[in-house]
């Protein structure tokens, strides 16, 4: 697939094939793609908790997601919970924020990495859904995520069982200013 095809064909997919599993090797490919993204002073603060066992998948879906997102990823064979180490990206060696955005740079870097992951998934024939509506503290407890990491998104990965249309995008002139 060309870059344009991957970028255009990636969709948020909310129904997956229950009988088509994703291998650990494929998930590793996704995380390797995430690692290629640029990060603040190369700080690489993104972290990936890969949930693939039946037991943990059920626990995360049941206990850490609201009903609508639980349904969205009901048959997804993989969930990747993404976090970032706080107070590094956007901060100097003394731990002082370099500018007013502070830890937003950690979230920014994780977003760059996560987009690489989503596009690599598409390139491998997989589909994904980023879920920002989740119970962060419950995820921390279930997956043993340390306090120094901020819990961000849950990303479902699997083979699609629906073909959603692309939600409408805003007009270029409404979002860009050529100065």
Ligand X SMILES: Cc1cc2nc3c(=O)[nH]c(=O)nc-3n(C[C@H](O)[C@H](O)[C@H](O)COP(=O)(O)O)c2cc1C
Residues in the chain: 179
Q: What distance in Å separates the CA atoms of residue 179 and residue 98, rounded to the nearest whole number?
A: 26
Of 93 and 168, nearer to ligand X (C-beta) is 168
In terms of Cα–Cα distance, which of 162, 160, 161, 157 is closest to 24? 157
- Shortest CB 13 distance to ligand X, Å: 8
First to last CA, the chain: 34
Question: By CB under 6 A, which span of 53-61, 90-98, 100-108, 126-134 interacts with ligand X?
Answer: 126-134
Secondary structure of residue 155 in the 3-state scheme: strand
Chain positions 17 to 76 lying near ligand X, rule: CB under 6 A, are 69, 72
- Using the rule CB under 6 A, is 156 a contact of ligand X? no
- Shortest CB 80 distance to ligand X, Å: 14
- Using the rule CB under 6 A, is 163 a contact of ligand X? no
- Shortest CB 30 distance to ligand X, Å: 16
- Using the rule CB under 6 A, is 132 a contact of ligand X? yes
Contacts of 80 (CB under 8 A, 6+ apart): 27, 30, 48, 49, 50, 51, 117, 154, 155, 157
Interaction site with ligand X (CB under 6 A): 11-12, 14, 69, 72, 129-133, 153, 166-167
């Amino acid at each position: 697939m060309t870059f344009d095809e991957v970028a255009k064909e990636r969709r948020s997919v909310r129904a997956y094939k229950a009988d088509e599993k994703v291998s650990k090797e494929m998930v590793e490919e996704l995380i390797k793609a995430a690692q290629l993204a640029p990060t603040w002073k190369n700080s690489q603060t993104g972290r990936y908790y890969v949930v693939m066992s039946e037991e943990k998948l059920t626990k995360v879906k049941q206990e850490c997601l609201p009903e609508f997102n639980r349904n969205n990823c009901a048959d997804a064979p993989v969930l990747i919970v993404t976090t970032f180490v706080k107070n590094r990206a956007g901060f100097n060696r003394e731990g002082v924020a370099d500018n007013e955005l502070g830890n937003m740079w950690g979230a920014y870097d994780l977003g760059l990495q996560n987009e690489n992951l989503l596009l690599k998934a598409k390139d491998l024939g997989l589909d994904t859904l980023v879920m920002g509506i989740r119970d962060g503290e419950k995820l921390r407890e279930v997956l043993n995520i340390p306090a120094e990491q901020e819990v961000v998104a849950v990303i479902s990965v699997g083979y699609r069982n629906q073909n959603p249309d692309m939600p409408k995008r805003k007009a270029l002139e409404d979002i860009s200013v050529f100065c």
